[in-house]
Each structure stands twice: as structure tokens, then as C-alpha cells.
Amino acid sequence: MSKVIGIDLGTTNCCVSVLEGGTVQIIPNKEGGRTMPSVVGFTEKGDRLVGQIAKRQAVTNPANTLHAVKRLIGRKYNSPEVEKMRGNVPFEIVEAPNGDAHIRVLDKTYSPPEISAIVLQRLKQAAEEFLGDTISEAIITVPAYFDDIQRQATRDAGKIAGLTVERIINEPTSAALAYGFDKNKNEKVAVYDLGGGTFDITILEINDGVFEVLSTSGNTFLGGEDFDQRIIDWLVETFQKENKIDLREDRLALQRLKEGAERAKCELSSVSETTINLPFIAADPSGPKHINIVLSRTKFEELVADLVESSVEPCQKALWDAKLQPGDIDKVILVGGQTRSPIITKTVTELFGKAPSTEINPDEVVAMGAAIQGGVMSGDVKDIILLDVLPLSLGLETRGGLFVKLISRNATIPLKNTMTFTTVVDNQQSVEIHIMQGEREIASANRSLGRFDLVGIPLAPRGVPQIDVSFEVDANGIVNVSAKDKMTGLEQAMQITPSSGLAPEEIDRLIMEAETSANMDVKAKDLILQKNKLDSLIKNAQRAMSEYGRTMPQEQQQQINTALNNAEVYLQSENLDDIKMALADVEQQTNKITEALMAAV
């Protein structure tokens, strides 16, 4: 009866939640945040840092600090997305023997699922601390356009982190789940998701608890961070015009500008103008300079107009692909922090002709839906059935490199479909069955899942032999493909198990490794806690000595001070036993001080 947690594993941030007492709870992390940056850092000392802490050391350790790994998961090294990313990140992306994109950090190569597992493990820990119970099951969300391999890679990441992934669900589906739906109605929902670094628009159809993705579109390099940058640029330019000082060269000034811009952006969601107040931002011979500037919502909207505009086209494309008019959409849901800006609400309202739903926190809505699905899995929620659908179409490559679909996407699984094919040349004795997944007409643009040959077809003119090809998808997403020559009864078959590119024994090894390093993390945490304790004990004792030490005999004063100084040395130690010893010693000295004080009173 243990809980199934819901995880939104985002490109820039992630969020974990759980259903408790019938309501969804967002689980805060150790640092108190409700979302955590999807960043992992490796240090020379062998520590693994996650989230905000990893982000803080990115500047000193850029090659070993990994972010946006979601863009690599389940992808080949030479795919266009990975190629684009290679030029943009300071860490090294390498080609694995199987052609997958892997990451090299400190002379060790990691697959993207391993890195995601580190993030997932941290979320799992936070959930366990929050619930006071071990957690072993999760629902993880992925973008609607993820193919089987990317989904399986995400599943593997969960497995490595010690989580059984009960379901992988689409992010827009999850958001729609969080808002709830009328079971007896057929609804079309548009989910507008403007996150930290990516923009996705998805049109869903909800019918009898079946969520179908009608179309999806977006821009993988558009996000809230671009909006902040516009404000920063404007501040820098305005300041330069007035004072002839370029703030871009001053790291601290830039950091303050970034915080000021973020705050102003948030405030402009509720008020029509805000003051950005950054005193003493710079100085020149004439004296200190301040930023004290009013940013109106109108000005802000002017600064970001083209960014907002660039989200409109994908929306129109999604509608077109779904063969729908804006008026056909019953509900619009906003996801991602940036959608809080009124200009987004306004644009979306104009686009779809209706006001979007905004009741649920757009940063948390996806994780919340996943938690609800987790509740369905654990039996906490009864009245929702979310059927599994095939995310992308399955089919074959045929003559001329064309792709023929045997099973269309959104079909509810399990299911089976058969189609008859024939030969293309006279006396053709074998046919190649090339199994592919995707939506494109051109076979090479889709993803290859596997291939086999059916040989021993009797000599015949082209077009005469009849070959039945059947595709069967079972409830676990495993695809069985068979080809049968109708005349001879000759049959060949192949099973395609969803694979992320990691072999099962490799995953088992990674699970072991992940467990070991989780234990190491616990040790490292203990070390830090003990050090902090030692630090404050020494400081307090020193303060007591400086204030009341005089009342003690000279000899004792000296003895205590020496002991404290000796203990201070251990603050640099990495050995827990040493620190514990020093702690005991300082405690002893503190007792002596207290005794002396008591005696003096």
C-alpha cells in the first residue's frame, strides 16, 4: 500500500508530488524549494552534487556540471538535436559504441539515463523524508513527442534510481489530469507549455478516459529565461546610455540585474508597473551610480513581443495538424512559470478564442497530474482510467524509402494489425522487413527499431507473392512483428523490446552503483553536519572564553585555548572519526568553561 510518487522530470527544473489524503502535495526538497534545477555536478573529490548546489558550482566546474540532459536522452550522437547541443554546452558529449549520445565526465562515460537517475534519486530521497516511508514506485512524465526509445530510457533512469516506473505519461496529459475532466464528455484540450528553456503546444482529445495526442508542436529553444534576458538587456542599455558604463563586464552587477529582472517580471504579472531599484550598482570618478527605473507592463510586453509572437506559429501548426479550428478547442491549459505573464494569457485567449485555465500553479501542474496517476496505480483514486496509447505510429519501410504505417499513433494498446505486401521485382526471393516508428512519410526521417529478412520466397513475377506482415503490441509496449508468405506458409518473426540502448545487465550494474553512491551522499551529508556543529561549538567556546575566561586560572585558560585551537584544525579534515573526536574534545572543554563559570557565580 506504499505511495506512488509523480515526477515531472523537466529539462531545466523538476518537481515531485504525491497524493495524500485525497489531495496532491508538492514535496519540497532539502533546500526548501518546491522545484529543483535538473543539474548534476561531479567534483574532483568524487562528490556528486544535485540541484541548486550543483548549479552554484557550475562556474568553477563547467566541464563536469551537466544540465539539460533531457535533450540527450534516448538520442543518437549524430542526430540533429544532439549536434545542436554539442555546440552549446561546456561538457563533453561522446558517441557510445552503439551510436548513442553519452557524456564524458572526469574520465568516465555516463549514459543520459544514469545522469537523470541521479536527479531522480534525489527526488526519491526527498519524498521518503517527506512521507517517512520508503518509496519504490513512480510515474514519470515525458514530452508528448518522445518516442519509444526515449520513453524506455526514462524508464531505465527510474530503474537505476531504485524506482519502478509504473507508467510513463505525457506531460500535457498529466497537466490535463491535474485539472480533471468530465468522463461523459468528449473534450479537446490545448496545453500551452512555456517552460524555462522549451516551448511545447499539444492538442489532446479526451474521450472516455482515453487521452489522445492529436498533434504536438513547439520550439525547443524558447523559454522563460529568454524573457528575463530581454529585461536585463534593456537595463544594461539604458544604464549605458545614461552613465557610459557597461554593466555586462561586472559579474556581480549582472547577477543583481538578473535577480532584479526576474523579480520585476513576476511583479508585472499582477501590477501594471514596477520599480527596479538597484542602488550602488556601479561607480565612476564622479561618484556612485544607482539604477532606479520604472518598468511598465506595456514596456515589458514591447520588449518580449517577438518572443511571444514566436509561440503563435507552432500553435497554429498544431491546430492545422489536428485538423481543428480554434473554436473546436474546449479548454486551454497553461503550463510553465512564464505563462503567468498577462501577455501570454492575452495571446492564448486571442488564439483559441477562450480564456485559459490558470487555477493550478503552472510550475507544479504536470507533477500534480502524475501524482494523481500514481494514486490511480496505488488504488487511492478510483474513478479515472487512463489507457495506454501508442505515442508514435509503427510501420515498415517500403519501396522507394517510403514509410507505411501499420499501427497509427494514439491507438490504445494492446492491439494487433496485419497488412499484405508483395515483391517489387521479378523472382525476388527475399524481402527485408524494416520496422520503424515515427510520423514522417519518408522512412529515413523516422526511427529504426529493427530489421529482418524473410527468405525462400518461390520464384514468381513481381506483385504475385503475398506476404502478410502483422504487428502486435502487448500491454508492456513490446512489439512482435511477423512476416508470412501466404503460398508457402514460410514465416519469420522478431520481437522488439523497448530498449534505451542500455543492456539489462548494464542497468543492473548501474543500479548497484547508484545505491553505493547514495550511501556515500549520506556520509558526506553527515560529515558536513558534524563539521558545522564543531564550527559553532568552537566559536561559542571561544566567545565564552573571551568574555568570561579571565575568571579562570591562567593555566586552565591556556589549556582550553590550546585545545580549541587544535580542534579548529579538524574543520578542514574529511575524516568523520577525527571530527567526532574533536567534537568530543571541544564538548569537554565547554563543560570545563561552564563549570568554572558556575563556580565563579
Partner 1 sequence: MDSNNKLRDHFPEEMNLKSSIDDFLRELEEKEKDLNISDEMVIEVEDDEIEESEIPEFLKTDLPSSSGAFGENLYAQIKMHEPEIKAVELTSQVQPSQLKELENRIGELKTTMARRQMDFDNYRKRIERERGDTFQNQISNLATQMLPVLDNLNRALDAASHFKGEQSNGFQQFFDGIALVNQQLSEVFSEMGIQPVMTVGEMFNPHFHEAVATENTNEIPPNTITEEFLRGYRLGDKLIRAAMVRVAAPAG
Interface with partner 1, residue 53, by CB under 8 A? yes
- Residue 375 is classified by DSSP as H
CA contacts within 13 A on the Cβ side of 271: 11
Burial of 249 (C-beta count, 10 Å sphere; 0-12/13-18/19+): exposed
Q: For residue 121, what are the CA distances in angstroms to 136, 524, 590?
A: 11, 16, 40
- Residue 552 is classified by DSSP as S
Give me 223's grid cell: 523559454
**Of 99, 279, 463, 504, which one interacts with partner 1 (CB under 8 A)?**
279
Cis amide linkage into residue 414, ω under 30° from 0: yes
Interface with partner 1, residue 59, by CB under 8 A? yes
Burial of 244 (C-beta count, 10 Å sphere; 0-12/13-18/19+): exposed
The least CB distance from residue 105 to partner 1, in Å, is: 16
**Of 327, 379, 489, 553, which one interacts with partner 1 (CB under 8 A)?**
379
x-or-dash string of contact with partner 1, 542-581, rule CB under 8 A = ------------------------------x---------
Interface with partner 1, residue 316, by CB under 8 A? no
Q: Is 152 within 8 Å of 500 (Cβ atoms)?
A: yes
**Count of chain residues binding partner 1 (CB under 8 A):** 35
Interface with partner 1, residue 1, by CB under 8 A? yes
The least CB distance from residue 275 to partner 1, in Å, is: 14
What is the three-state SS of 312-362?
Answer: HHHHHHHHHHCCCCHHHCCEEEEECHHHHCHHHHHHHHHHHCCCCECCCCC
The least CB distance from residue 280 to partner 1, in Å, is: 3
- Tell me whether residue 536 or residue 558 sits nearer to partner 1 (CB atom): 536
Measured torsion, CA atoms of residues 587, 589, 593, 598, in degrees rounded to the nearest 10: 60
In the region spanning residues 407 to 466, those forming contacts with partner 1, defined by CB under 8 A, are: none
Q: Which stretch binds partner 1 (CB under 8 A): 82-90, 291-299, 449-457, 525-533?
A: 525-533
Interface with partner 1, residue 255, by CB under 8 A? yes
- Tell me whether residue 54 or residue 348 sits nearer to partner 1 (CB atom): 54
Give me 564's grid cell: 580549541
Q: Is 220 within 8 Å of 195 (Cβ atoms)?
A: no
Q: Which stretch binds partner 1 (CB under 8 A): 14-22, 70-78, 266-274, 464-472?
A: 14-22
Residues with catalytic annotation?
A: 8, 70, 171, 193
- Tell me whether residue 83 or residue 526 sits nearer to partner 1 (CB atom): 526
Q: Which stretch binds partner 1 (CB under 8 A): 18-26, 216-224, 323-331, 357-365?
A: 18-26
Q: Is 169 within 8 Å of 141 (Cβ atoms)?
A: yes
x-or-dash string of contact with partner 1, 234-253, rule CB under 8 A = -----------------xx-
Give kind and range of the element (H or E) at residue 519: helix 504-548
The least CB distance from residue 295 to partner 1, in Å, is: 18
**Of 80, 87, 97, 287, which one interacts with partner 1 (CB under 8 A)?**
287
Angle at 510 between CA 507 and CA 516, to 5 degrees: 150
Interface with partner 1, residue 60, by CB under 8 A? yes
- Tell me whether residue 32 or residue 489 sits nearer to partner 1 (CB atom): 32
Interface with partner 1, residue 8, by CB under 8 A? no
Q: Is 45 within 8 Å of 408 (Cβ atoms)?
A: no
**Of 240, 298, 516, 532, which one interacts with partner 1 (CB under 8 A)?**
532
Measured torsion, CA atoms of residues 24, 29, 32, 35, in degrees rounded to the nearest 10: -70
x-or-dash string of contact with partner 1, 115-154, rule CB under 8 A = ---------------xxxx---------------------
Handedness of CA 326, 327, 333, 339 (dihedral sign): positive
Q: Is 569 within 8 Å of 581 (Cβ atoms)?
A: no
Interface with partner 1, residue 57, by CB under 8 A? yes
In the region spanning residues 343 to 362, those forming contacts with partner 1, defined by CB under 8 A, are: none
Residues 309 and 495: their CA atoms lie apart, in Å, by: 46
Give me 520's grid cell: 556515500
Q: Which stretch binds partner 1 (CB under 8 A): 91-99, 418-426, 431-439, 530-538?
A: 530-538
All residues at 6 or more sequence positions from 449 whose CB lies less than 8 Å from its CB, including other chains: 148, 394, 435, 436, 437, 479, 496
> How do beta strands 467-473 and 415-421 pair?
antiparallel
Q: Which stretch binds partner 1 (CB under 8 A): 107-115, 280-288, 365-373, 502-510?
A: 280-288
The least CB distance from residue 57 to partner 1, in Å, is: 4
- Tell me whether residue 35 or residue 61 sits nearer to partner 1 (CB atom): 61
Q: Which stretch binds partner 1 (CB under 8 A): 17-25, 327-335, 352-360, 498-506?
A: 17-25
> For the chain, what is the radius of gyration of the CA atoms?
30
Interface with partner 1, residue 58, by CB under 8 A? yes
354: left (phi over 0), alpha (psi -120 to 50) or beta: beta
Interface with partner 1, residue 268, by CB under 8 A? no
Give me 108's grid cell: 568516465
The least CB distance from residue 259 to partner 1, in Å, is: 9
All residues at 6 or more sequence positions from 132 whose CB lies less than 8 Å from its CB, including other chains: none
Residues 307 and 295: their CA atoms lie apart, in Å, by: 18
The least CB distance from residue 378 to partner 1, in Å, is: 8
| Phi and psi torsions of 553, nearest 5° | -60, 145
Interface with partner 1, residue 529, by CB under 8 A? yes
Q: Which stretch binds partner 1 (CB under 8 A): 283-291, 298-306, 335-343, 591-599?
A: 283-291
The least CB distance from residue 329 to partner 1, in Å, is: 36
The least CB distance from residue 20 to partner 1, in Å, is: 5
Residues that bind partner 1 (CB under 8 A): 1, 20-22, 31, 41, 49, 53-54, 56-60, 130-133, 251-252, 255, 279-280, 283, 287-288, 379-380, 382, 528-529, 532-533, 536, 572
